[in-house]
Structure 1
Amino acid sequence: MTALLDVDQLQTFVAIADTGSFTRAADIVFKTQSAVSMQMKRLEERVGKPIFVRDGRQSRLTQEGERLLVYARRIVKLSDEALAALADAEVAGHVRLGVPDDYADRFLPEILARFSRSNPRAEVTVLCFPSVELIHCIGNGSLDLAIITHAASVVAEAEVIRQEQLYWVTSQRGTVHEEDPLPLALSNGVCEWRRNAEAALNAQNRAHRVLYASPNSTAISAAVLAGLAVSVCAESSLRPGMRVLTSADGFPPLPPIKIALLRGVHQPTKVREALADHIVASLDNLSDVVAAE
């Protein structure tokens, strides 16, 4: 039986063709670069021909890749149109979504744009707070959905939908990571990222001090990019100008973090469940993680 083409793989393929880069395409399709590479390897195996060649730092399509791209665009477009046509036309109303600003820049634009196109009668209100505050808002009924950093010790009923590596980061222009004690820029509240960072440094008996503390990821990133402090961030939160620190720099590996979806305490509504399904479909990389392991 002839193998069928995977629409998700084709969507990633189109993103690579449009950007000329596996890295930039990963941002568009909300996957890690390794997951994107794995998808393209599987796509090449499925079509039985090479579809990319390396051209310096960019990826260029082969002749077969150019031919496939024409069909890929049509298939992805038809898939989007089919889903939109079959979507429940009666999905309407108001849904309140919470998300930490660590994830908002990367995830929200595409999620909200696609959801709005599929559900034009739905209204989404977005609140940005740290995960601990979002959990509290879910508990008191002031939010319908929340995307949070998962910690079993904080909340058990959240649905884990994504896993990402946590990295030590510093500025590409500076040596602040060599200072003693180590200056840090971290969240000023209860935070899984901060807990992991401090635990790792304490295990090394490495002297450190929190020089900048803020619940706002932009403020923390500013301190890092200015070369004033070291911080930690997930793969999706890496920014241009940041340098990832490894064991070669004296920094121990950090555990991966889990991103989860938490539903509100009120009776579920169609609009809430429609947005929840959309978020899960958009952010899910767990199958890629399992395959990579």
Structure 2
Amino acid sequence: MAALLDTDQLRSFIAIADTGTFTRAAEAVHKTQSAVSMQIKRLEETVGRPLFERDGRASRLTDEGERLLDYARRIVRLSNEALASFAETELAGRVRLGLPDDYAERYLPEILARFSQSNPRVEVTVVCEPTPMLMERIEHADIDLAIITHVSSRGSASVIRRERLLWVTSGRHAVHEQEPVPLALGRTFCTWRQAATAALDGRGKNYRVLYSSWNSTAVGAAVLAGLAVSVLPESALRSGMRVLGPADGFPTLPSCKIALVRNRADPSPLCDALAGHIVSSLDNLSAPAEKPGGDADALT
């Protein structure tokens, strides 16, 4: 009889791939590090291949581990959906979701459509704020779930999507050729902004921040009007925008990690159901064309 893959082992496997270490993965799946290590050992015995190798203090996927990761995500997602299909019909109440406004514009229609169809008696309260404010709300239990842009300094989180961070300008203007190049970015403590300016400094390219806003619509409007260059994740590209690269004098940027964080102090079936729909919805979006690299924070 063929061996079967254990979904609980796969969850721990995914957590290690997302967090980079067994310690952080154990925190994410609420198990001890030794329990997670044993799960991975058994999973490796099942597939007959090593899945991780040491890279300093971190754990890096082997080629076989990379191959398994996509299957693991799909298996876990389908398992969540199957269980939710039996439980969600009786769910009722209110669940509070937070996300930045640029994520709301791209992800919320799909999330709400899927969730409302399965849970017509559940009220979803949506809060749109920048990631740092959402993290404070999570800590104070003001919201139940939050979709954020993740960086390692924010601790462990469930990374549910990765995207390339791209330089963008108007397709009808040549503002990127100006000297110094005008930029539309987030506030000074925004890591996307810091990554963008650091990249230009490293290239010796002159620039000035002409527009600064938390609001992605305002930043996008400045770009489309041909007033400034900005940085956006790949799924946020709009009609009329042009992507800039090294050939245009704009260096490659790090990628961004989109994560889901939860209020662990008050877990509920409503949160579990909505979290499952969020993961499925973002997974169904078209995948980035290239495999991402390092971390970056969001405009929001």
Provide TM-score, normalisation by structure 1. Answer: 0.67
CA distance in 1, matches of 2:84, 2:264: 29
Distance 1:178 1:290 in 2: 26
1:167 corresponds to which residue?
166
Listed one character per residue, the Cα deviations across residues 140-164 of structure 1 (whole Å, up to 9, x for unaligned) are: 11111000111112x1121100001
Q: Deviations over 1:191-232 (max 9, x none)?
A: 232122112112112221110011100000000000000000
Distance in 2, Cα, partners of 1:189 & 1:108 = 27
Deviations 1:243-268 (A, max 9, x none): 00011101101111110001014220
Cα 1:245/1:152, change in 2 over 3 Å: same
- Supply the distance in 1 between the matched residues of 2:226 and 2:185 (Cα, whole angstroms): 14
Q: Name the % identity.
A: 60
Q: Secondary structure at the match of 1:284?
A: helix
1:121-140 aligned within 5 A: 121-140=121-140
1:186 maps to which residue? 185
2:265 is equivalent to residue 266 of structure 1: yes
Equivalent residue, structure 2, for 1:144: 144
Amino acid at match of 2:113: A
Give distance in 2, aligned partners of 1:245 and 1:291.
Answer: 15
Assess if the C-alpha contact under 8 Å between 1:224 and 1:231 holds in 2.
yes
C-alpha deviation, 1:82, in angstroms: 7.8
Aligned residue pairs, count: 211
CA contact (8 A) 2:175 2:182 kept: yes
Aligned partner of 1:235 in structure 2 is: 234
Map residues 42-57 of structure 1 onto 2, 5 A cutoff: none
Who is 2:205 aligned against? 206
Paired residues for 1:59-138 under 5 Å: 86-138=86-138
Distance 1:100 1:139 in 2: 17
Unaligned runs of 5+ residues in structure 2 are 1-80, 293-300
Structure 1 stretches of at least 4 aligned residues deviating more than 3 Å after TM superposition: 81-85, 288-293
Cα distance, 1:89 vs. partner? 2.4
Kindly state the Cα deviation for residue 289 of structure 1 after the two structures are TM-superposed. Answer: 7.3
What residue number does 1:216 align with? Answer: 215
Q: TM-score, normalised by structure 2?
A: 0.66
Runs of at least 5 residues in structure 1 that lack an aligned partner in the other structure: 1-80
- Once residues 147 and 161 of structure 1 are traced to their aligned partners in structure 2, the CA distance between those partners, rounded to angstroms, is 9
